[in-house]
């Protein structure tokens, strides 16, 4: 792993964390607009790479489904204005996170997080474990999105309309995946 790659990863992760903080602290409409604007710029920059384009294309459909789900759920309980703001914030941050995940290798990301958290060893934080958890979280999201697409396709082939029937199979697959991950971590002694 090169020092330049690690530095690039550090800057991208820091920018993502800073944007998430700013979007959270800004008034609702401004936060949503900023998140979408920065995500759009990041998406345009990453889209130039054919490898990144292919990976992002697969993730964007799933991210739009997540945004639509947030839009509907928040809309039902809090109104359309709050739903548009929440969906905009979440979609913007998720798209930017996908851009960072595509443009930064997992090894570089773990090294950056481990190095950034190393001063916290004195208070009982294990930077290597935090980096591993972050890495597992980032790799688990695309796996679950792939399972969601598969479940949706199978239900469509069976003639079922999208709806609440989608949640239970996804929950079962997610729990099975979590159980497999836990078994694998236990086998490694973590």
- Residue-range domain boundaries for the chain: 1-104, 123-190
Which residue in 127, 66, 71 sits closest to 98, CA to CA?
A: 66
Tell me the pLDDT tens digit for each residue of 27-86.
Answer: 777 777 777 777 777 767 776 777 777 777 777 777 777 778 778 888 888 888 888 888
Q: Which residue has the higher pLDDT, 157 or 106?
A: 157
Q: Which H or E element spans position 143?
A: helix 127-157
The pLDDT of residue 1: 56
The pLDDT of residue 65: 76
What residues contact 74, with CB distance under 8 A and at least 6 apart?
82, 83, 86, 87
The pLDDT of residue 31: 72
For the chain, how far is it from start to end, CA to CA, in angstroms? 24
Tell me the pLDDT tens digit for each residue of 139-170.
Answer: 677 777 778 888 888 888 888 877 777 778 88
Q: Which residue has the higher pLDDT, 48 or 123?
A: 123
Separation of alpha carbons 154 and 156, rounded Å: 5
pLDDT-wise least confident of 13-17, 39-43, 88-92, 185-189:
39-43
Separation of alpha carbons 53 and 11, rounded Å: 21
CA 126 to each of CA 54, 111, 119, 186: distance values in angstroms, whole numbers, following the listed order:
35, 13, 10, 17
The pLDDT of residue 116: 81
Tell me the pLDDT tens digit for each residue of 18-28.
Answer: 777 777 777 77
Full 3-state SS string of 41-97: HHHHHHCCCHHHHHHHHHHHHHHHHHHHHHHHHHHHHHCHHHHHHHHHHHHHHHHHH
- The model carries a pTM of 0.63
């Amino acid at each position: 792993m090169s020092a330049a790659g690690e530095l690039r990863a550090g800057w991208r992760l820091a920018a993502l964390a800073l944007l998430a903080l700013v979007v959270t602290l800004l008034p609702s409409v401004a936060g949503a607009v900023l998140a979408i604007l920065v995500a759009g710029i990041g998406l345009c920059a990453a889209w130039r790479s054919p490898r990144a384009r292919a990976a992002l294309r697969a993730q964007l459909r799933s991210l739009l489904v997540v945004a639509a789900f947030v839009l509907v759920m928040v809309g039902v309980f809090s109104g359309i204005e709050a739903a548009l703001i929440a969906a905009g914030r979440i979609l913007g941050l998720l798209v930017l996170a996908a851009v960072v995940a595509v443009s930064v290798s997992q090894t570089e990301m773990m090294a950056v997080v481990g190095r950034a958290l190393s001063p916290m060893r004195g208070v009982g934080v294990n930077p290597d474990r935090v980096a591993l958890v972050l890495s597992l979280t980032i790799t688990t999201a695309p796996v679950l999105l792939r399972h969601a697409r598969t479940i949706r396709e199978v239900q469509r082939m069976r003639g079922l309309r999208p709806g609440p029937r989608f949640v239970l199979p996804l929950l079962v697959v997610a729990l099975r995946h979590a159980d497999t991950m836990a078994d694998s971590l236990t086998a490694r002694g973590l």
